[in-house]
Structure 1
Amino acid sequence: MDTLSHLAHGFAVAFTPTNLLWCLVGTTLGTAIGVLPGLGPALTIALLLPITYQVAPEASFILFAGIYYGAMYGGSTTSILLNTPGESATIVTALEGNRMARSGRGGAALATSAIGSFVAGTLGTLGVAFLAPTVVKYALKFGPAEYFSLMVLAFITVSAVLGSSSVRGLTSLFAGFVVGM
C-alpha cells in the first residue's frame, strides 16, 4: 500500500502544468533526436545537463525521462520508414517495420510502434515501481561472497560465449574486471 501512496504523490507532482510542459519539451526533443541516427538520448541528456542548475529537480527528471522515451519512439520511425535504426534499441523494429512500410502499411507500423512504446513504457515503469523495494532488500544483503559469485558467473558466461578468439575475449573480460574493481 505504501507504493500506491508514493505513486499518487508522484502523479500529483508530475501533473502540475510546469512539469507537463517540461514533459512535452523533453518528449518532442527526444523524438527529434531519436530520428537522427548517431545521436541518442544519452548525448542529448549530457548536453542538457546544465539546465538542471536552473530548473527544479522534479522538472529535470521529467525532462530527461521525456527525452529518453521520445528518443526510443523516434528511433523506431527511421527504422520503419528508412530501414535505418535511429537507436540501438530499434534494430529489431527495422526488420518487420520496414517490410510493412514497403508493402504500403507504414502507417499501421508507426501506429503499432507508438502504441507498443507507450504500453511497454507504462508497464515497465509500473513494474520497476512495484518491484524496486523487493530488489533493494536483496541487493543490500549482498556481501563479498555474493560479489565473488557474480564475478565467477561473469567468467563462466564470457568463457562460454568466447568466439574464435579466446585471447581477445579473455582480455576484454579482465579489462572489465579491473574496471569493475
Structure 2
Amino acid sequence: GTLWLENYVSKYPHTVLLISHDRDLLNRAVNSIVHLDQKKLTFWRGGYDQFERQLTEQRELQEKGRVKQEAQRKHMESFVERFRAKASKARQAQSRLKALEKLKPIAAVVNDTVRPFSFPEPVKTVASPIVALNGVNVGYTEGNPILKKMTLRIDADDRIALLGANGNGKSTFAK
C-alpha cells in the first residue's frame, strides 16, 4: 500500500496534504513540507531529511544569534553602568541605553518535548480460531438462504477484505 501511495502522490499533478510518520514515504513522495511549530506555519522545500537538516541549521543559527545578542546586551549594560555618572561619557551611555531599549530579544529555541509512551501488553491472547463456520446457510429469512453451505475460519492474525460485485452478499455476510 505504501509503495502505491508513494507512486501515486509523486505523480499526482495537484497539491496533496499528506500526514505521515513514515520518513521514507515523506522523503520520496513529497517536494515540500509545511511545518507547524509554536502556532506558526513554515514552508520548506525538499523531502523530510532535507527539512530536518534545514530546521536544525536554522535553530542553531537562531541560538547563536541569541547568545551573541545576550553578550552584546550585557556589554552595553556594563558600559552604561560604568559611565552613566561620568560627564564625558554620559551622552554615549545615554545613547547605548536607548539602543538597549530598542533591541528586540531573539527568542530561545524551544525544543519539542517528546513524551515517552508504550503500548500495554495484551491482557490475554485469543485462541484461534476466533470464528469457525462449517456448512452454514446465511440469509435474512429462514428457509431462504442467500449464502449456502458456507465454510469460514478466522484466526487472530488474519486480515480480511470483503470484495465482490453488488448483490453478491457482502453486507449479508457482514451482518
Query: Structure 1 length as normaliser, TM-score?
Result: 0.22
Bigger Rg over Cα: 2
Q: Which has the higher helix share?
A: 1
TM-score (norm 2): 0.22
Bigger relative contact order (CA 8 A; separation at least 6): 1
